[in-house]
Amino acid sequence: MAREYGNWEEFKCNYKLSDRWQFFDGEKTSFNIAHECLDRHPKDKTAVNIIHANGQYESFTFGQLSRQSSQFAYAMTKLGIGQGDRVILMMNPSLEFYTSFYGILRMGAAAVSCSPLFGPEAIEFRINKSNAKVAIVDDEAKDLVKPGAVDRVISSGELMGLIEGEKEHYAPHTTMDSLAFMQFSSGTTGEPKAVNYSHRSVGIVAFRMKYVVGIRPDDIYLCPSSPAWGHGLWYGVTGPLVFGNTTTTYSGKFSADALVDGIEKFEITNIYATPLIYRRIMESGRLDNAKLKLRRLTYTGGALDMDIISYFKEKTGLIIHANFGSTETGGFLSDYAFDDWVAKPGSLGKPLPPVTVGILDDEGKELPPDKVGNIAVKFKKDADWFKMGDSGYADKDGYYWYKSRTDDVIISAGYTIGPIEVENVLLKHPAVKDAAIVGSPDKDRGETVKAFIVTDRDKSEHETLEEDIKIFVKTRLSKHEYPRLIEFVDSLPSTLDGKIKRKELKLREYERAKMNKNGDNHV
């Protein structure tokens, strides 16, 4: 019998990790994500909606995906793919993607999800690290896979022909510990690292869908993140389907107009997205006249500006709730979907039971409330701390607050400056479309604050605009935090989920300084 928790206090005091398995049919020696997400739900119910960038829409049922993923499994078996084999999956959301993804998991192979935006080197790296045997890719990406890198490359255009006529029921033979898929971290501190997930990993996803995202039986759900990274894969492709909910995704070049149209079209009630998505919706102004049926909003993947939180509260009456974590740890700081939960907008919430979270100094000692340090987590009491590479603090009520990436912090003339606060002010300037702040080496200050800015203003205006931006930040933030250096750029380097690669920009600054020291005056 399923155990229900009526409020936050009851949940906090009584939740056990074993409770997560109440959401599934399988058990330790017989467990498969494809079965849990597809086979046990009404065949004629819509499983997936896709909002396409060109304004088109698609929908697929649980029965359709269950049937076609089985046909896929049989077709792959004929090609010599078996349990434990790795399969590169490099596709935008489509019928072919869902057929392939769930077919790979159904047969016990492992999906290696990659972005269709990857170039040949990024693809080759993941093929080599995963030891993949087959690559399934969008038609336009077929030539990006180096000849001989895998045994077979299958394009989306030929996939349905390949599975046609195969049997329509493939019974899984996996366990909770069978490998399900490999995901590569963003590599902000080195080359991307492979993180392996077994079929049991969907247990913690179901837990978060229920108690953090707050999925309800009648929700029409949206997660617009790409399935090439963890948020889109876990909380877009698999999590909602565990509960038999219709999940909605976005495919193609991002357009806030197309997304809001889709939110209206499919009568979305529950959204889980990144700060960048919420910002783009705000900037579009579309919520002024949109006909919405939203009841819950959640975010992950970085800090959320209070201006965005206030905007959505004004337009929808809803607070955007937090879920904070990483590829390696999953989410572990959250707001919770209980009526008695008191949210502090802008905070990261509180730890998931029974996780321990601490704020550590550079020597690894825990800091008291309101002291900024390294955010660290451990999932067992006797385990070592895992440092997230993020700085933050806990307040006296036990809520955690984000400051910045620890490697993004700028030390200028003795001041410690976090880039996000400065960027948030910059983004309020009418001429600033996007911005990144890094520390640039300075012989007097150690580092000085530099802004990389994307604007639509003509180059002839840049000199005047530069001074205007400096005054704008100086008068709104502080005299030691404004950007003394400004460089206008066409775009900013970013990860798949929209996080700015400040480390890349900072490295560029230090390389420039090194060249100047050697007599090269190129800037």
What tens digit of pLDDT does each residue of 293-343 get?
999 999 997 778 899 999 999 999 999 999 998 777 878 999 999 999 999
Taken in order 61, 67, 73, 78, is the CA torsion positive or negative?
Answer: negative
Average pLDDT over residues 168-185: 94
- The pLDDT value given to residue 330: 79
409-517 CATH choice from 3.40.50.1370, 2.170.150.70, 3.30.300.30, 2.40.160.10: 3.30.300.30
Q: How far apart are CA 183 and CA 391, in angstroms?
A: 25
1 pLDDT exceeds 70? no
Of 320, 254, 301, 350, the C-alpha closest to 11 is: 350
pLDDT at 262 over 70: yes
| Other residues' Cβ atoms within 10 Å of the Cβ of residue 111 | 27
* pLDDT for 404: 76
Q: What is the mean pLDDT of the chain?
A: 91
pLDDT in tens, 136-157: 999 998 899 999 999 999 999 9
DSSP reduced 3-state for 249? strand
The DSSP H or E segment spanning 486 is strand 485-488
pLDDT on residue 415 = 64
Task: Say if residues 205 and 239 touch (Cβ distance below 8 Å).
Answer: yes
- The residue written with tokens 């935008």 in the block is 92
* Nearest CA-CA partner of 298 in 326, 268, 278, 328: 278
Q: Which of 100-104, 421-425, 466-470 is predicted least confidently?
A: 421-425
Name the residue ranges covered by the structural domains of the chain. Answer: 409-517
More confident: 259 or 120:
259
Q: Does the pLDDT at position 30 exceed 80?
A: yes
Continuous segment of H or E residues that includes residue 279:
helix 275-284
The model's pTM: 0.82
* Secondary structure (DSSP) of 26-86: -BTTB--HHIIIIITS-TTSEEEEEEETTS-EEEEEHHHHHHHHHHHHHHHHHTT--TT-E
What pLDDT score does 500 carry? 87
Mean pLDDT, residues 35-57 taken together: 97
Chain segment 330-386, per-residue pLDDT in tens: 789 999 999 999 999 999 999 988 789 999 998 999 999 999 999 999 988 889 999
264 has pLDDT over 60: yes
Q: What is the pLDDT of residue 191?
A: 65
Q: What is the pLDDT of residue 517?
A: 63
Q: DSSP for 338-396?
A: -TT----TTS-BEEPTT-EEEEE-TTSPBPPTT--EEEEEESSTTSPPEEEEEEEEE-T
> How far is 514 from 441, CA to CA, in rounded Å?
10
Residue 417: which pLDDT band, with cuts at 50, 70 and 90?
A: confident
Q: Return the axis-axis angle of helices 156-163 and 62-78, rounded to nearest 10°.
A: 90
Q: Which residue has the higher pLDDT, 447 or 314?
A: 314
How confident is the model over 57-66, as a mean pLDDT?
A: 98
Question: How many Å is the maximal CA-CA distance in the chain?
Answer: 74
Classify the phi-psi angles of 357: left when phi > 0, otherwise alpha if psi is within -120 to 50, otherwise beta. Answer: beta
**Residue 463: its pLDDT value, please?**
93
Which is higher by pLDDT, 272 or 1? 272
| SS3 at position 6 | coil
Alpha-carbon torsion (102, 107, 112, 118), positive or negative = negative
Between 189 and 260, the more confident residue is: 260
Mean pLDDT of all residues in 206-215? 95
Question: Average pLDDT of 97-114?
Answer: 97
Query: 204-208, 291-295, 383-387, 511-515 — which is least confidently predicted?
Result: 511-515
Beta strand pairing status for 270-273 and 220-222? parallel
| The pair of three-digit structure tokens given for residue 226, joined into one six-digit string | 């790409």
Look at the alpha carbons of 54, 55, 56, 58 in this order and tell me if their dihedral is positive or negative.
positive
Kindly report the backbone phi and psi dihedral angles of residue 219, in degrees, each rounded to the nearest multiple of 5, phi listed first.
Answer: -70, 140
Token readout for 506 is 């900072």
pLDDT of residue 120: 86
- 3 state SS of 135: strand
The pLDDT of residue 432 is: 96
Say what the pLDDT of residue 326 is. Answer: 79
Question: Is residue 6 over pLDDT 90?
Answer: no
Integer Cα distance of 488 and 500 in angstroms: 15
Cα distances from 29 to residues 13, 19, 37, 349, in angstroms, run 30, 18, 18, 35
Between 107-116, 173-182, 407-416, 432-441, the lowest mean confidence (pLDDT) is in 407-416
pLDDT of amino acid 44: 98
Closest CA to 102 of 12, 41, 193: 41
